[in-house]
Every structure is written in structure tokens, then in C-alpha cells.
Structure 1
């Protein structure tokens, strides 16, 4: 369960409900105004066009291009019918609002060519409304065309603005992922050194055994084979990320450094309770596993310091279950809905990239009652449990 996705779904539902209320209120107000000024049943045409356009706008997420085309088509038909039958000018306020939503949504989400076509069609509707219902004063925009022009400009500004923000965020996310891949690629040097050194030592020992006790040479060779298999498995988990030839390898993080990391955090933050696997020598974890555990804990504690200053305690749990290693960091900060989107920032992107590269998973989101929880799972082959 990835809670931020569920939270985003609720936000979308709330936004659509709010849009529906606004469209309904606009449509009702327009009908009342037309009934008072035009009399009779002239308001029926505006009600029909506005209701159809509003329904299309509320279902835009299913297929944004089709929805935009349908909404613009409704507007074009409404203009033609109103002009030929002498009905109130179209598109009315409700349909104009629906068109603004549809055009803005298209500009935000569709590919550039489709988005440009929708924006151009929206401008054509504005021009068509002006030609069909010019200002009674003989110059400038009429009231209805002016309303549609304002809606089109708002859709243009909103859609392009959100599109630019999304592009910038995607670029920043990709930079974080690339940096994480490069860091993992450098750590490959540590992985190679760790495993190959063990193979060399066992090979040297096998030579001595073969000279003094030839009957034991088979067991020594089997040990070398096992160490080679461990090395191959470890390197396969990170070799695909090799993107840099820089030989400057970073210092690996030993699991025992978690205690020091927790102590440093507790010096300027809430108390931290650290739970490590019982009866397991964590110093024998493969380097890429040790550094990943350290990274998850460090980023999670940094998140607490930045976004949960009211947290009273933090619990860090590292557990081993068969061939899976789990890391969980939970704080008890009081609920604060506005904090959650900020907690799901670029630090989580980097952690997720690292874990997925090693075959693991990451879940993060608000706790069931309060606080924030980060749960990471990382596979550790049985052969690495030395």
C-alpha cells in the first residue's frame, strides 16, 4: 500500500467534486438570469449546452483529448444554433468554464502537438463567438465573447504553467535518479574489492592445503567456488548501473555505524530507538547492502528533522527474515496533512532508485494514527549470510 498515491486519489476526487459544485452553481445562476431577462424558455438552450459541457469536463480524466474535442464540438454547435435561432449568446458562463477546464487539462497533460491543436481550437471558439455575437456598441468584444476569451487565457496560463512545473519536477527527479545510479556505480568498486579479496585469500590457502594435504584440496576449491558465486550475485545487482569510469570509490558504510548515526541525530532531535537483528553479525553484510541500509536510515532521519519537528520519538528497526532484510523508520509526529506531500520529496526518489536497483522495494506514507513511516525491503541471498 503506497499511501501518497491513495492521498492523491482523494485530492483528485475532492477537486472534481468542487468543480462539479462550481459548474452547477454557475449553470443555475445563468438559468435564473436568462429567465429573468429573456423570459419564456430561452434558458433551455443554455441549460442543455452548459449541462453537456459540464458533464464532459467532469469526465475528462478518462480520455483528455476526446473530452476536449467533445467539449469544443458542443460549443461550436451551441454557437451555430444560438445564432441561427436567435437564442442567447453562446457559449454561456457554465460552458465557458467547462471549456477552460478542458483546454487547461489538455495543455497540462497531452503531447505538445495535441495540446497545441486543442489550444488553437479553443481560440477558434472565442473568435467564432465574437463573429456570431459582436458587441452591440459596434466595437470591441461582446460580453459573451469577452467571457470566453478570459476563460481561454486562464486555461492557457494555468495549463502551460502546470506543464512547466511538472517538466521541471521530472527533470529534477531524473537528476536525483542519475546521481543515485552514479553513486551505486562507484560503490561497485567496493563490492569487487570485498568479494575478490576473499577469493584471493581462499585461493592462497588452497595452494597451501594442496601441497600439505592433497585430500583436502576439493573442499578448498569448493569454498572458492562458493565465494565466486557470492561475488557474481553481488556484482550482478549493481553492475547494470555502471555509468561512470571514475575510480574514486566512496567509503562504504558499515552497519555498526548505524549506532553512531542515530546518536548524532538524537543530539539535536527527538530520541531514537534502534533495533538490530538479534544474534546476527551485521558486519558481514555485503557492502552494497550495508550502504543501502545506512542510506535509508540517514535519509529517513533527515526527513524527520526537516518535516516533523514535533515528533517526540523515532524508532529504527532493522530485521532479517529469511533472505529479506527490512528497514523501518517510524516517527510519532502529530497528523499534519499539508506535511505529507513535502515528506515525499527527492530523498525518497533516491532511496527508491537504490532499492529497486538491488531488487528491493520502498513504501512511505503517513501512519495509521499519526507520524510517518518508511519501510524498505532488500533481498539478501542466503550465500551472503556468512
Structure 2
């Protein structure tokens, strides 16, 4: 079981515990009512049927279709036996609750034919209860339980479908964007190699000495292309979280604008010119800011302002995102999750580092450091001018 499976596992355990906390008092109360009205021996049949149904409900993850089918059979049998043997009306409240759990779980998770069949089987059990018992409290409760299972199961199925569709759309979009990024990287470096080779062919006869410089340029461009390809391949190997899109420098301000629709004010500081940055670098910077702002939206609802600073020195590029949320915000103390893991992995692919943690006076800070493009003159030109909100 992967780490990402743990939230679903704990949610399932919590649901089972909640079901048990309702079912056990229900069994005791039903047995008391039947014993008081009919006699102690009459409560035994309902108790056995209820216990069997509860066990099936707790074992539903083993086989959704199998346990739901078995639950319908047990409930229908209980209704028939109670009618023939002159026993108290079935299904009892706990049996109806367990059947609702089985039916709702089947409707949410099974294929449409199976889900429809289980829902129809539940309806037949409800109709059988009305035919055998008429308008009684247990029959009404059973009907309400079936309706609740039908509505809740269908609603959760729709939510799951929309979530899966959204996740698939995001994965497809990011892979298409990655294809564009890969094309841009290859085109940029390979074009340089082709131009250098063409130049070498032109000067071979007239200026043989110049060929050496062209060959050196071809070697350098090839090395840069290989390094860039390795970085992109490293990002592609992250199958759980698709590699970042290839946003251009101008899109960072668009990201901030989208954040401002539901978040606090943002002060954005970036270098005046990032046109010479390689695509893999701009993509990583973009995704760092994106994940940091997403974490602020999720975990720091009381933050009043955010500062995003992208700065370049002679040797390093730093990306810092800081919020001023008060200490008592109820957020998770470490903001742990796959977002920080993904940021750290992307930075490692570029030989960068990541620091993230609470600030002494409140709020949270994310600081990423990356190597600057290896061009001293370009680095000094970029670091000489910084503006706010132009990225």
C-alpha cells in the first residue's frame, strides 16, 4: 500500500467504526423492544439476521458485488421467514441500515449494470416489506434507508467520476504541455548545433582554422542539449505527479491573478528580463510558486498578504514565497504532502535545494535555490534590474 492510499484507508476505518457505534446500540434496543412486546425468544431471529448483515457490511471491501448480493438474499429470506413464521416484521432497523451500506457502496463503486441490479434488488426488498407488513415503522425506516443509500451512493459516484475526469484532463494537459516543452528544448539546442555545422562546412576550404571553433561550439551545444534532455526525462519519471507544464515567464503574473480571486494580496518581485532562461528553469520556478500559493490557499486561510520574490545573483536564482498567517490558524504544522516532495524532486533535477517551514513571528516561508544559467555577462545583466509584478 502506497502512502497515497492511507487517507482512503483511514476514512474507511472511520466509517466502519461509525457504523459499529450505531449498529451495536441498535441491536440492543431492537432486542429489548421485541422482547418486551413479543417475548425474549422472538428477538433471536432478528438479532441473528442483523448480525449477519452487519458482518457482510463490514466485509464489503472484499467483494462489493458479492457482499451486496448476499445481503439482498439474507434480507429477502428474513422477510419471507418472518411472514411465514409469524415473527416480528423484517427487515429490522439494523438489518435495513446494513443493507443500505451494502447498496450504497455497490452503487458508488460497481459497474453500471451491477450497480443498477443491486439498486433494483434493494427496491424489491422494500416492496416485499410493504406487501407483508403494510405501513409500519420498520417498513418506513427500511424504505428511507434504501432511498438514502440510493441518493448518497449516486452522489458519491458522480463526485468520483468528476474527480477522475478532472485528474485525467490535468494529466493530459500537462503531458501535452511537456511535449511542447520538450520540443522547445530540442529545437533550441539542436538548431544551434545545425547552424554551427553549417558554418563549419562553409569555412572548411577557405578558413580551416575556424573549423576548430565551430566544432567546439557543436560540442558545447550538444552537451547542453543532453543535460536538458536528462532533466526533462527526470521529470517524466515522476508518474504520480506529471512533469510541470512549460509556462512562459509572462504566465507567473497570470498565476498570481488567479490566486487573487480567492486569496490575499500578493506582492510579486521578479527579474526584469528572464528571456534567456532555459525552459526547464522557468517551468520549475513557475511550479514552485504555484505549489506554494496552493498550500497557502489550503492551509493559511487567515493570511492577509503574500510576498513572492524571484531573484537572480551571479551564481544562484532564489524563489521565496512568504505569507503572514497568524500562528493559530489550525493548519497542519508541517504542510507535509506530495506538493513539497514534488518541488524538492524538481529542484534536485536542476541541482537546487528547498527549505520550507514556519516563520518565528507567524506565517510560512518557502525558499528554493537554483543554479543560475552559466553565462556571467547575462547573469550580471539580469541581476542589475528587478521590477515588481512584470513576470
- Whether TM-score is above 0.5 comes out as yes
Aligned to 1:227: 221
d(CA) in 2 for partners of 1:373, 1:121: 56
Aligned to 1:321: none
Q: Say which of 237, 242, 252 aligns to 2:248.
A: 252
Deviation of 1:68 (Å): 0.6
Deviation of 1:18 (Å): 0.8
Q: How does 1:237-386 map to 2 (within 5 A)?
A: 237=232, 252-253=248-249, 286-305=278-297, 307-310=299-302, 334=328, 336=330
d(CA) in 2 for partners of 1:285, 1:15: 51
d(CA) in 2 for partners of 1:93, 1:182: 53
- Confirm whether residue 54 of structure 1 aligns to residue 36 of structure 2: no
Aligned to 1:122: 122
d(CA) in 1 for partners of 2:309, 2:18: 42
Deviation of 1:114 (Å): 0.7
What count of residue pairs does the alignment treat as equivalent? 332
- Confirm whether residue 10 of structure 1 aligns to residue 2 of structure 2: no
SS in 2 for 1:60: coil
How has the CA–CA distance of structure 1 residues 101 and 232 changed in structure 2, closer, same or farther, with 3 Å as cutoff? same
Cα deviation per residue 1:138-195 (whole Å; 9 max; x = unaligned)?
Answer: xxx4443332222111111111111122222223333333333343344345324421
Higher relative contact order (CA 8 A, sep 6+): 1
Q: Say which of 161, 167, 175 aligns to 1:167.
A: 161
Q: Does structure 2 conserve the Cα–Cα contact (< 8 Å) formed by 1:284 and 1:385?
A: no
Aligned to 1:146: 140
| Structure 2 gaps, min length 5 | 237-244, 311-318, 351-355, 376-391
Give TM-score scaled by structure 1 length. 0.65
How has the CA–CA distance of structure 1 residues 109 and 306 changed in structure 2, closer, same or farther, with 3 Å as cutoff? closer
- Confirm whether residue 180 of structure 1 aligns to residue 179 of structure 2: no
- Confirm whether residue 112 of structure 1 aligns to residue 104 of structure 2: no
Q: Does structure 2 conserve the Cα–Cα contact (< 8 Å) formed by 1:46 and 1:92?
A: yes
Aligned to 1:77: 77
SS in 1 for 2:133: coil
Deviation of 1:197 (Å): 3.8
Cα deviation per residue 1:264-313 (whole Å; 9 max; x = unaligned)?
Answer: x9xx66999x9xxxxxxx99874134313322323422541565144599
Q: Does structure 1 conserve the Cα–Cα contact (< 8 Å) formed by 2:126 and 2:142?
A: yes
How has the CA–CA distance of structure 1 residues 39 and 313 changed in structure 2, closer, same or farther, with 3 Å as cutoff? same
| Structure 1 gaps, min length 5 | 136-140, 241-248, 275-281, 319-326, 361-365
Give TM-score scaled by structure 2 length. 0.65
